[in-house]
Structure 1
């Protein structure tokens, strides 16, 4: 079973998003409708084990970084159960 997972990871193409990336992006778009930018990257090679997320949103204004990250974790509560790791980068749009 592990070998199949490794093969799936090795076959990822950079030209398209994985189904996991699309699913996480949709959830974030729903939870952060005012986001200026959302980028989700599967950094496990396409397996869905680890993601890197960049979100730029006004909703983070006047919040500490830890609070911003807690907002993202809360939004992805169900998805995180299936992940091994998550890197979060948040920012506020420049005026």
Structure 2
């Protein structure tokens, strides 16, 4: 985990740039298309789909370079309606409480569907 943490800042910056440009993510020497999910991404997405079955949009991205230390989550659900952003984030944190213990960081973006 320590070795992973050292390169975390540059990996995060690189991953965010790649996400914005929708290109291929580079993980160390390997390239992986953004359509291929890591085990951690799949596991977190499964938990969130179970907790928020009304979610109209869900995206989980490992932004730590593939080591599973940091994730970015985008979730849109009608279950967030009437709740402040901090309350929405608390719901996501609660759903992932066991997973968060093994993470270095987590970025959460929540929204309510516009329709």
Q: Calculate the aligned-residue CA RMSD, in Å.
A: 1.8
Gaps of 5+ in 1: none
The count of aligned residue pairs is: 91
TM-score normalised over the length of structure 2: 0.74
Moved over 3 A (4+): none
Gaps of 5+ in 2: 8-26
Kindly provide the CA deviation profile for residues 8-67 of structure 1, in whole angstroms up to 9, marking residues without a partner as x. Answer: x51351241000000000000000001001100000011100000000000000000000
TM-score normalised over the length of structure 1: 0.89
Q: Which has the higher contact order (CA 8 A, sep 6+)?
A: 1
Cα distance in 1, alignment partners of residues 86 and 110 from structure 2:
10
1:86, CA displacement in angstroms? 0.1
